[in-house]
Amino acid sequence: LDLETNMLTGTLPSFANNPRITYLYMSNNNFTGTVPTAIGAMSNLRLVDLSGQGLTGTIPRELTGLTRLQDMDLNNNFLTGLLPAFPAIGRSLTQLSVYSNQLNGTLDDVLNVSLSILVAFDVEANDFTGTIPTTIGLHTDLEFVDMSDNYFPGTLPTEVGALVNLKDRFYVWGNNITGTLPTELGLLTLLKALSMHTNDFTGPIPTELGTASSLQSLWLDDNGLTGVIPTTLANLTLLGTYNPNQHLSL
């Protein structure tokens, strides 16, 4: 069912009496109200796209029981509360995108379950807190990660170095992350864009970053980095956008 990009209004129907629906495209309309819990009874759903609406309330836990769900897009709404874990669909879910909402809490429960084929994880522009869990390193099929513009404190776990299939981006800008840049970032040899600006990183830029040979964009500005720019960054021959940190001592 595809009704995306219209000017439809009102609340979302449940579609609970349509169990054969596999794709639910409802994005970019003017729906209001909450996400219907009855969607959780649509056992054949592969995709739910309710992005770009005026939806409020929480993400219903009933959605976590959709065992065939591959893609969940709830971006650009006004959803609040916690992001539930998805243990029942860990072997089917490839994309989880909830950016630009007002979700809060930590990501511990979400990343502690096995999301064995998750490729894209986007929680940008919410109100998440708590440190980035070390269990992020378990999700080795990830190609796209955006956790920017939240309130994550603490250090960036070295386990990010296990995400060797990252290709499109790894964004954690606009948080409260402290400590040094992990040397393990150099293991991300397929990654094209790395954005870690506007945090509280300190210490030097690791020389190992020069082995992330696919980098095309690198943002490290607005931190507290010190030292000199490693000569190994000259090995990043695909780099097209590099913003030197304003605190960098040359």
- Average pLDDT over the chain reads 90
What are the tens digits of pLDDT across the range 218-244? 999 999 999 999 999 999 999 885 443
The pLDDT tens digits of the residues spanning 110-165 come to: 888 777 789 999 999 999 999 999 999 999 999 999 999 999 999 999 999 999 99
Asked if pLDDT for residue 250 goes beyond 70, the answer is: no
Q: What is the reported pLDDT for 16? A: 67
Q: Quick one: pLDDT at residue 92?
A: 86
Burial of residue 225, with CB atoms counted within 10 A of its CB: 0-12 exposed, 13-18 middle, 19 or more buried = buried
CA distance 221 to 224: 9
**Cβ contacts of 145 within 8 Å, gap of 6 or more:** 120, 121, 122, 136, 163, 166, 169, 170, 171
Q: What percent of the chain has pLDDT over 70?
A: 94
∠ Cα 123 127 128 (to 5°):
65
For residue 135, the model assigns a pLDDT of 93
